[in-house]
Amino acid sequence: MLKAGSLTYALFLAIIVALICTMMIGLVHLNRLAFIRSDISFRMEDALQSGIARAMTREIDYQEKIDQTDFDAIAFNKHRHWGAFELVSSRVIASDRALQRTFITGYLPTDTTLALYQSDENNVLSLAGDAWLNGDVKTSKKGLKSAFIDGQNYKREKLVFGKEKIANKQLPDFAYDLNAYWLSYLQGKIKAQDSIHTIGYAKELNHPFWKKTLVLKSSTEILLNDGAFEGNILLISDQKVQIGRGVKLDNIVIIAPKIVVEDSVEIRAHLIATDEIRIGNSAVLDYPSSAILLHLEGREALYQQKAQSVFRGSIIHLSEIPYKNNTVHAELASGSKVMGAVYCAANLQLEGTVLGQVYTRYFLLKTQSGIHENVILNGKINRLNYPGTLLFLPFKDKGECHLASRI
């Protein structure tokens, strides 16, 4: 009996030792797998960062597929225009895992104190009421003066709260032909990186940026009153797009001859039109949004932003006129606010506030008493107290490329 008991005890100990050894081998194996996965994750993250950096240095509409031979993975990188900004994206695939990242990019300003650049049309710029230029100003060699407009004298002790300099006769040139790029979509020229569909009846769409851009096109007016459209989407109408309060828009591009944003709407989007863009009372376009008025020969486009509205991003009016006239082409109403950059190749009526920079050919003011040329009444441009990093417009002498926002 004793021998049998000893044998049983020895067998029990052997089983315990075997189980412990098996567990240790299993733990070593799991640890090895965890190490391999951690190493792959590190390599994927590194490849992703390299892909983003690589895409930022490439030309517009660049896309590529790269085999990552060092750890058996594939990277897809791309770079394209996205409204007034640019978009860079990278996706890395390794075995059963994928990692992707997309950023809106822009450019840091080369002149960090410039508030106003008005091309030299050989005219005096007049300031009246509570007008305020807080930062450096480049304008005509005739300079600035105070004025009495609609019963309002200029109220401040100085005309410019910064340095005065002489501007060139032309506004700065853009590095890219944004006009031709976005106009091509209204002309039906879809790019290789796009996938076109009719708009259909989908109420909610979230399309990732690593896929082909989803182009939703309609030959008729589009009314957006409900639903949600997010991500890598171009929404195109041959007539008009009207945006109501019930819809959610996040980072999509909208292209149409006319775009209307109704009162109190809150969206993040990029608006591109040939005839007009109207931003309603108390509407908010969050950062990074943009608006572009394209140039068509013989047509004069209008950008209008009403009272208490807020636009965070870049506004570009490319509809240059060959001569001076009494038409307002971009209007920032009293109480409106832009946080970013405004570029107007024609006549700008500034009664609201710009926290950032303004580039314009000419100022025009229409009041009940008449039309006043090259006048700012109560309008404000505040460059020195801008609350954050201002992304520069993509001029030829653009500064360092900067990741504006991850999307």
Distances (CA, A) of 127 to 149, 171, 220, 222, 351: 9, 21, 44, 41, 11
Identify whether residues 88 and 198 lie together within a single domain.
no
Cβ-count burial 308-338 (b if 16+ within 10 Å, e if not):
bbbbbbbbbbbbeeeeeeeebbbbbbebbbb
Strands 73-82, 85-94: pairing kind = antiparallel
Identify whether residues 315 and 248 lie together within a single domain.
yes
Q: Please name the amino acid found at residue 83.
A: G
Identify whether residues 248 and 348 lie together within a single domain.
yes
Give the CA count within 13 Å in the CB-facing half-sphere of 340. 24
Identify whether residues 93 and 123 lie together within a single domain.
no
Contact 346, 317 (CB under 8 A): yes
Identify whether residues 131 and 15 lie together within a single domain.
no
Residue 407 lies in a domain: no
Identify whether residues 67 and 190 lie together within a single domain.
no
232, two tokens: 């890598």
> Rounded to two decimals, what is the model's pTM?
0.87
Q: Last residue of a domain, which of 81, 107, 133?
A: 107
Instruction: Round to whole Å and give the CA distance between 165 and 138.
Output: 5
Identify whether residues 70 and 11 lie together within a single domain.
yes
Identify whether residues 217 and 333 lie together within a single domain.
yes
Residue 406 lies in a domain: no
Give the phi and the psi of residue 364 in degrees, each rounded to 5: -140, 140
Apex CA 377: angle with CA 371 and CA 379, to 5°?
130
The Cβ of residue 300 has, within 10 Å, a number of other Cβ atoms equal to 18
Residue 311 lies in a domain: yes
Identify whether residues 90 and 132 lie together within a single domain.
no
253: containing domain: 114-401
Closest CA to 48 of 92, 80, 88: 92
Instruction: Round to whole Å and give the CA distance between 183 and 180.
Output: 5
The Cβ of residue 128 has, within 10 Å, a number of other Cβ atoms equal to 23
Q: Last residue of a domain, which of 107, 130, 150?
A: 107
Contact 370, 253 (CB under 8 A): no
Residue 301 lies in a domain: yes
Identify whether residues 136 and 89 lie together within a single domain.
no
Residue 309 lies in a domain: yes
Counting the structural domains of the chain, the total is 2
Residue 179 lies in a domain: yes
User: How would you write the pLDDT of the chain (407 residues) with one tens digit per residue?
Assistant: 445 666 676 676 777 777 777 777 766 655 555 544 555 677 767 777 777 777 777 777 767 777 665 556 676 777 888 999 988 888 888 777 777 888 888 877 778 899 999 997 888 999 999 999 999 999 999 999 999 999 999 999 999 999 999 999 999 998 889 999 999 998 888 887 888 877 765 678 899 988 889 999 999 999 999 999 999 999 999 999 999 999 999 999 999 999 999 999 999 999 999 999 999 999 999 999 999 999 888 778 999 999 999 999 999 999 877 666 789 999 999 999 999 999 999 999 999 999 999 999 999 999 888 899 999 999 999 998 876 666 768 888 766 666 666 67
Which residues are CB-contacts of 298 (< 8 A; sequence separation ≥ 6)?
none
Q: Last residue of a domain, which of 107, 138, 167?
A: 107
Closest CA to 125 of 386, 350, 322, 339: 350
Identify whether residues 206 and 253 lie together within a single domain.
yes
Identify whether residues 210 and 298 lie together within a single domain.
yes
Residue 243 lies in a domain: yes
